[in-house]
Structure 1
C-alpha cells in the first residue's frame, strides 16, 4: 500500500505560473492529493483555481506569511504521511514521485529528500536552487553538487545516485510529516530564503537523514517571487544566513563564525560597490543590523541540542574564487562527511 502523499503548492500572486505548470503537475501526479495554499494573493489566483480546477483543494491564508509561515499554516491542516512542498514554477516529469518516496520508505530515519533540479530555461544544466543536493561550509556558505555560486554544471548523469546531503531544497522538498512537525516546522522569523536549510540542519541535529535522489527529475524556473537581483532577496539571504548560523552552531563556535562573516560580508559589499549595486550594499548593512537586533530573542529562544550536523571544513569561498574550483568534483574533499556521528 502506498503511503499518503500530499503535494502542497504555496502560491503568492503566481497565477501565471499556476496556469503554466499546474496542468503538468496534474498529468504526472495522478492519484495523489494536490493542495494550493494561497498567501493572500491579490491576482485572483484562488478564484481562477476554483473556476478551472474545482477538484484541487485550496487553503487561504489571511496575510502573506512568506514561505516559512505560509507552509507552517497550511501544513497544520493537511493530514498526510508525506508532504511534497512544490514551488509553483516547477515542471515535473513522468514518475517523479515514486522513486523519492520509495527511497525514503527504505529508512525511517530519512526525514527529507529532494529530486534532481534542472533549469527550466537551460535544460541541460543544473538549477541554482538545490541542483543535486545541498552542502554548507563551516562559515555558512551553501553550495550544491552541480552548482557552486554562479557556476552551474551540465547534467551528464554524474549525479544520478541516491545519497545523504546536508540540505534539500525547498523548491521541491519531500518531507515526512512526523519529522516536520517534531522539528517545529519552519522558523517563521526567516520569512523566506534559507528556512529549508535551517530545518534540515535541525533535523540532522535530531538524528535524522537528509537525502537526494537522482532517480527523479524536475525543472525549475527560479526567482518566481523574488528575482536574485532584488535587494530584498539580498537582505533576506544575508540576514537569514546569520540567524541560521547563530541558532545551529555549537556555542563555542557561534561568535567566532559571526565575526568572520562580518568581515566576509564587508568584502562582498565592496564587490557590489565595484558594480554600482548600491541597493545591495545597503541591503547587506540592513541585514546585519536586523540580525544584531534579533540576538536577544535568539538567545532567549535557544534550545540545547547535541551538535551532529556535518559541515564542509574548507572555505568554499577560497576554493571557488582563489583556487578556481568551480566544479563540485574539484573540491578538496568532494565526498563530504554526511552521516551523523
Structure 2
C-alpha cells in the first residue's frame, strides 16, 4: 500500500511554517500534499520557495473542509489518504501503525491516532482524543473528552479498539472506501463532516479503528476558534443533519428530543450573555429545516446496518450523573 499525507490549508501560512517541518521529517513513507483553499496570505509562495518537494493541489475557491478535501482528493491516487489539519505536529513512526492495521483487516476503512493537545501535552485534545463515539441522541464524545471535560493521558486508553468515528484532525482512510462513500458531504462545509463520513462507512459495513501506537499533537482552532458563533452554528446544524441522514432508528423522535435539548443549550448561552451563540443555534435549526427534503433524499440513498451505542445519552451521563470520564460510562450495546 502506498500512502499520501494531505494537509488542508486556508490562509494558514503561519501554521505551515510551524508544523509542516514535522510532517516532512517523519513522513518518509508517504507522498506529502497540501490542498490549498485559495489562500491569499502567501501560503502558496511560501510552499513554492521553502518546500518545492510538496505537491500543491490548488482549489479555486475556499470550499471548506469537506469540499476542499473532496476536490483535492480527486487528484490523489495513493491507496491510503491521511488527512491532516495544518495545525498538527506529528511524531516519529506515526504512519506505520496505520499501514499495519489496514493490512491486517480489509474491512477497516478509517483509523485515527492518539490526539493530544499541543498547549497541554500531557492531556488529550478536544478534537478526537482517543477515539470517537456517539450516543443514541447523536451527541459525539471521545475516550478522553466528554463535552468540555478533557482527561490527562496516563495510558488509560492505550488499546487498539473499534470506535464509531475518527477525528478529521488526523484521519487515515482507504481511498476506495472514501470514494465508495462519495467522500465528505459538502453541504456541511466544516465541522462534524468526519463523523458523518464514518457513520456512513459503518452503515456500509466497514470498521473504524483507533490506535494509540500513533501519536500526534493538535493546536486546535486554527481556522475557527471555539469562541466562534459560526462554529456553534455548524456543529449544531451538522449534528442534526447526520442524525436525519444516517440513524438506523426512526430519526424523528430523536430530532424532537434534540430540539428540546438544543433549546436548553441556547438558553444557557443566553443566561451567559453569549447572544451571538444563542442566535447561532436558532439559525442552525432554520438552516437544517430548509435542507430537510434534500436530507431525506440522501437518507433514502444510504444503506443501513446495525449501530453500536456506547451510552444512550451522553447528556444524562455527563450533566445529571456527573460522569466526566469515558471509563466511568456504563457500556450499553444496542
TM-score normalised by the shorter chain: which range applies?
Answer: over 0.9
Per the alignment, residue 226 of structure 2 pairs with: 228
Instruction: Verify the 8 A CA contact 1:249 1:307 in the aligned structure 2.
Output: no
Per the alignment, residue 253 of structure 1 pairs with: 250
How far apart in 1 are the matches of 2:225 and 2:86? 15
Helix, strand or coil: the match of 1:108? coil
Instruction: Verify the 8 A CA contact 1:10 1:67 in the aligned structure 2.
Output: yes
Helix, strand or coil: the match of 1:7? strand
How far apart in 2 are the matches of 1:141 and 1:31? 36
Change (3 A) 1:304 1:121: closer
- Following superposition, the deviation at residue 309 of structure 1 comes to 2.4
Per the alignment, residue 148 of structure 1 pairs with: 146
- Following superposition, the deviation at residue 288 of structure 1 comes to 0.1
Aligned partner (choices 21, 28, 31) of residue 30 of structure 1: 28
How far apart in 1 are the matches of 2:311 and 2:50? 51
Per the alignment, residue 283 of structure 2 pairs with: 286
Helix, strand or coil: the match of 1:216? strand
What CA deviation, in whole Å up to 9, does each residue of 1:61-95 have, x standing for no partner? Answer: 00111000000001010010000000000010110
Per the alignment, residue 50 of structure 1 pairs with: 48
Change (3 A) 1:209 1:337: farther
Helix, strand or coil: the match of 1:317? helix
Q: Is residue 281 of structure 2 the alignment partner of residue 274 of structure 1?
A: no
Helix, strand or coil: the match of 1:9? strand
Q: Is residue 257 of structure 2 the alignment partner of residue 298 of structure 1?
A: no
How far apart in 1 are the matches of 2:57 and 2:82? 16
- Following superposition, the deviation at residue 31 of structure 1 comes to 3.9
Instruction: Write out aligned runs for 1:66-77 (5 A).
Output: 66-77=64-75
Instruction: Verify the 8 A CA contact 2:311 2:329 in the aligned structure 1.
Output: no
Per the alignment, residue 174 of structure 1 pairs with: 172
How far apart in 2 are the matches of 1:119 and 1:4? 29
Q: Is residue 80 of structure 2 the alignment partner of residue 82 of structure 1?
A: yes
Long gaps (5+) in structure 1: none
Change (3 A) 1:304 1:32: closer
Per the alignment, residue 319 of structure 1 pairs with: 317
TM-score, normalised on structure 1?
Answer: 0.96
Instruction: Verify the 8 A CA contact 2:124 2:145 in the aligned structure 1.
Output: yes
- Following superposition, the deviation at residue 312 of structure 1 comes to 3.0
What CA deviation, in whole Å up to 9, does each residue of 1:204-250 have, x standing for no partner? Answer: 01110000000110000011100011000000000000101000013
How far apart in 2 are the matches of 1:313 and 1:18? 38
- Following superposition, the deviation at residue 299 of structure 1 comes to 1.9
Instruction: Verify the 8 A CA contact 2:118 2:218 in the aligned structure 1.
Output: yes
Change (3 A) 1:83 1:337: farther
TM-score, normalised on structure 2?
Answer: 0.98
CA root-mean-square deviation: 1.1
Per the alignment, residue 184 of structure 1 pairs with: 182
